[in-house]
Amino acid sequence: MRLLFPRPPRTRYADDPFPALPDFPIMRFLHTMLRVGDMQRAIDFYTRVMGMKLLRTTDRPDQKYALAFLGYAANPEQAEIELTYNYGVDRYEMGGAYGHIALGVADIYATCEQIRANVAQFGGSISREPGPVKGGDTLIAFITDPDGYKIELIQRDA
């Protein structure tokens, strides 16, 4: 079987309930797709508020949709967000199963202040101010994008 990506070394633990499957190909997380009601508004939010780069776009007028891929780096270095705009659809209902996207940040308080300075112009909000997770000491915050999607910020050492 041809592997899609090189297999990284695996650390084995005596109590590992999921031993490596020798013939199972290693997979890589590529992107998460979000449906948006206004492509330019969504691109502005993710680039100007969240600091991502617009990596590439595709417009398919015959199929009545457009795509924009954004991220902090392109695949395969990092996973991306795929924004999908379906012509004529300006709003989606949030399903009960969707949770959030999580991003690691070095300084959650400074990051939230930078976001706060931009959401008035580009939409979105800080829906949970930075602070420790309930029952723990990990610092988190939540941002809501203009389409209602949640983005969790988690403070991580650089």
Catalytic residues: 152
CA dihedral of residues 155, 78, 150, 68 (deg, nearest 10)? 150
- Residue 136 is classified by DSSP as S
| Beta pairing class for 150-155 and 101-105 | parallel
Backbone angles phi, psi at 59, to 5 degrees: -120, 125
Please provide residue 41's backbone torsions phi and psi, each rounded to the nearest 5 degrees: -60, -45
